[in-house]
Amino acid sequence: MDMRERITAALKKAMKERQADRLSTLRLINAAIKDRDIAARGDGEEGGVSDADVLAILGKMAKQRQESARAYEEGGRLDLAERERAEIEVIEEFLPRQLSDKEVRAAIDAAITNIGATSIRDMGKVMGALKEKYTGRMDFGAVGPMVKDRLST
């Protein structure tokens, strides 16, 4: 079952079970995927959004909500922060398990070895390989500096 089918099945189940909060989050996910579909058609891409694209969309949505929850907490709006966290839980159901720090370091080392990267100029190749293999399973905002440090030494 591909990602779209899983999301659609969850959407239907939430409708039947009258889970309003879950349903609204699933509808937001569906809307984001459809927006990406429309953008892809405008760019002349055939076949629509792939599972990797859906994972990237979900990862971005989760990260946005984490930032929003943090901002709400700092502003003293705990009710809104809690709502953001509930949306994160729904989104993360469709994301693969996140790699631990140890697994991320091992993946970086493996990518550097496979590519034969020796300097910071090879960082783009390493990041590309990691994104191809681990999309949705690691935070590339945090991985970038780790790769940079590893290639600088």
List pLDDT tens digits, range 97-135: 888 888 888 988 888 888 888 888 888 888 888 888 887
Q: Which amino acid is at 117?
A: A
List pLDDT tens digits, range 8-55: 999 999 999 999 999 999 999 999 999 988 888 877 666 677 887 888
Q: Which domains does the chain have, with CATH numbers?
A: 3-92 (1.10.1510.10), 101-152 (1.10.10.410)
Where do the H-state alpha helices sit in 93-120?
Answer: 101-115
Nearest to residue 91, comparing CAs of 74, 72, 68, 108?
68
The pTM score is 0.71
